[in-house]
Amino acid sequence: MYRLLYVIDLLNRKGEPVTENKNLKEEIMRWGSKYLASHGYMLKSKLPENIQNTPWSYVIRYTTSSGYIYLKNTPKLLASEAIIIQILRDKFHASVPEIISHNLELDCFLMKDAGKPLREILKSQFNEALLCKAIEQFTSLQSSVADHVNVFLDIGVPDWRLNQMPDLFQEVISQRDLLKAEGLLESELSEVENLLPKISNLCQKLSQYSIKETIVQPDFNDNNTLIDNISQKITTIDLGEISISHPFFSLLNCLQQIRKHHGLTDNDDAYHRIKDTCFKNYTDLLSKEHFLDAFEIAQTLWLAYGILAQYRLMIACGKERIMEFQPGRFGSTLKDLIKILLRICG
């Protein structure tokens, strides 16, 4: 067992970006092709298909005699995904990708096809029941893991529990050159430093409720949920950036993505039913007043969590690459957090 990631330990380490070198890409492709050919997979095309190439993820797809096989390469500081997936499968019987092989030297792994993104299905015909089923499956996994978080902490999954978040956030906002490069003014830099005690207070308040912290997939949404066309099996993907933190952060992201991509609003009955599905494990646990208070606090701290997640990508992939790929996102999130904290805390 070994530790790969913990943000405080990484602040002064240079991130290694995902595959940019052409020769390394070719080496990864050759490894994938050779492995598949030597294990009974007949390749139906000479070259794999490019699926994704971002600073944090390079994905290609092989067409084989046994269907599609995907190869994923990540920066070294995010290269624990295959290990995380295997633990989720073996210990928690989670519906996650099936790993075929894992190459530690090349920071990549091969996995079987698990279907098409749920978002594609919902875009064609919105299926509230299927979406709720996917959400229920994920929240069930969060509940299963909640009493066993040390399994993930032991392999280096970041500890972003509420008692850790203020210190982690303080480390991020101490990067004044980065914040200036992201468009923050001197007055805003002072403001965010002054608001740090407010974040600590909110973390303390949220921790008082009976909500166990667990795995958080920062980008849990319908596009990172796959559906097998035949079996209708639901698979959660993109698990390399999980942390241990408050479960609401995954669910708030899911709701935000649903509003963004499917046109639902707070006025829609369907949206409220989906929201109820996200949080039903907690509405049964808390009084209505306490749940609403916890939900409101989590909505604010979700922005702070998002800043940690974005900074983690900067460290893993290289600050310049992330800033070029997502211009202004980090600074915009921080400015939104400042506005909300000033409004609710005075």
Residues 102 and 189 in one domain: no
CATH code at position 12:
3.30.200.20
Q: How far apart are CA 119 and CA 126, in angstroms?
A: 9
End-to-end CA distance of the chain: 46
What's the chain's average pLDDT?
92
pLDDT given for residue 316 in this prediction: 97
In this predicted model, what pLDDT tens digit does every residue of 13-58 receive, in sequence order? 334 444 456 788 899 999 999 999 999 999 999 899 999 999 999 9
pLDDT given for residue 346 in this prediction: 61
According to DSSP, residue 234 is labeled E
Residues 268 and 122 in one domain: yes
Instruction: Give 251-254 contacts, CB < 8 A, sequence gap 24+.
Output: 251/135, 251/139, 251/220, 251/278, 251/279, 252/298, 252/299, 252/302, 253/218, 253/219, 253/220, 253/221, 253/302, 254/135, 254/138, 254/220, 254/221, 254/222, 254/278
Q: For residue 39, which of 58, 75, 64, 2 has the smallest C-alpha distance?
A: 64
Which domain does 110 fall in, by range?
A: 7-114
pLDDT given for residue 284 in this prediction: 87
The answer to whether residue 1 is domain-embedded is no
Residues 128 and 219 in one domain: yes
The dihedral through the CA atoms of 293, 295, 297, 300 has a sign that is negative
Residues 106 and 132 in one domain: no
Q: For residue 223, which of 253, 244, 252, 243 has the smallest C-alpha distance?
A: 253
pLDDT given for residue 7 in this prediction: 35
pLDDT given for residue 20 in this prediction: 57
Q: Which of 69, 85, 114 is the last residue of a domain?
A: 114
Give the list of residues 6+ apart from residue 66 with CB closer than 8 angstroms, or none: 40, 41
Q: How confident is the model over 144-172, as a mean pLDDT?
A: 97
In this predicted model, what pLDDT tens digit does every residue of 224-266 receive, in sequence order? 999 999 999 999 999 999 999 999 999 999 999 999 999 999 9
Contact status, residue 281 vs residue 248, Cβ threshold 8 Å: no
Question: Count of domains in the chain?
Answer: 2
Residues 84 and 219 in one domain: no
Q: How confident is the model over 278-299, as a mean pLDDT?
A: 95
Q: How far apart are CA 246 and CA 206, in angstroms?
A: 9
Residues 329 and 250 in one domain: yes
Q: Tell me the pLDDT band of 306, cut-offs 50, 70 and 90.
A: very high
pLDDT given for residue 169 in this prediction: 96
The amino acid that residue 56 corresponds to is W
Q: How confident is the model over 113-140, as a mean pLDDT?
A: 98
111 bridge partner residues: 70, 99
Give the list of residues 6+ apart from residue 324 with CB closer than 8 angstroms, or none: none
The answer to whether residue 99 is domain-embedded is yes
Q: How far apart are CA 236 and CA 95, in angstroms?
A: 7
pLDDT given for residue 13 in this prediction: 34
User: Would the pLDDT of 4 be above 50?
Assistant: no
In this predicted model, what pLDDT tens digit does every residue of 57-91 receive, in sequence order? 999 999 999 999 999 999 999 999 999 999 999 99
pLDDT given for residue 1 in this prediction: 33
Contact status, residue 80 vs residue 156, Cβ threshold 8 Å: yes
Q: For residue 312, which of 172, 191, 174, 147 has the smallest C-alpha distance?
A: 172
The dihedral through the CA atoms of 313, 319, 321, 326 has a sign that is positive
Write out the DSSP string of 143-186. Answer: HHHGGGTHHHHTTT--B--TTTHHHHHHHHHT-HHHHHHTT--H
Residues 190 and 338 in one domain: yes
Write out the DSSP string of 90-137. Answer: HHH------EEEEETTTTEEEEE---EEHHHHHHHS--HHHHHHHHHH
According to DSSP, residue 223 is labeled G
Q: How far apart are CA 101 and CA 193, in angstroms?
A: 46
In this predicted model, what pLDDT tens digit does every residue of 97-111 receive, in sequence order? 999 999 999 999 999
Give the list of residues 6+ apart from residue 171 with CB closer than 8 angstroms, or none: 7, 8, 11
Q: How confident is the model over 167-177, as a mean pLDDT?
A: 95
User: Would the pLDDT of 135 be above 60?
Assistant: yes
CATH code at position 121:
3.90.1200.10
User: Would the pLDDT of 11 be above 90?
Assistant: no
